[in-house]
Amino acid sequence: MVYRLSSCDEDGYKYGWNILFSEDILQLVVQDTNRKLQEMRHKYKKEDRPELKDIDVIELLALIGCLLLTAIFKSNKEDTASLFATDGKGSEIFRCIFSQKRFLLLLAAIR
């Protein structure tokens, strides 16, 4: 018989993320990604496009979360067009966080 369900408070979730990704590592990834985004901006005529803006730690964590969701949904081998599809086949969570263009640019810049 289950008497009490286990739970995790907000500090527990943060602790779990900090085990995988320390704040220093996240800042390094943000700096290098922003450097790559700056290089990518020069390839476009319109450099102030919204999908080319700099990334911050919160958006980086959202990107990591989206990548984890693709693994959970077993869709990590799917085309990104199917992840962001609006015909009922895609998942709303991806469209709520990023546009498809932003998602692809961040994946290219983070490499």
pLDDT in tens, 6-56: 666 666 666 777 788 889 999 999 999 999 999 999 888 787 888 889 999
Expressed as residue numbers, the domain containing 48 is 22-110
Number of domains observed in the structure of the chain: 1
Give the helix, strand, coil percentages of the chain, each rounded to 5: 65, 0, 35
Give the chain's mean pLDDT.
85
Residue 77 lies in a domain: yes
Q: pTM for the full model?
A: 0.80
Residue 4 lies in a domain: no
- 81: three-class secondary structure by DSSP: helix
Predicted local confidence at residue 82, as pLDDT:
87
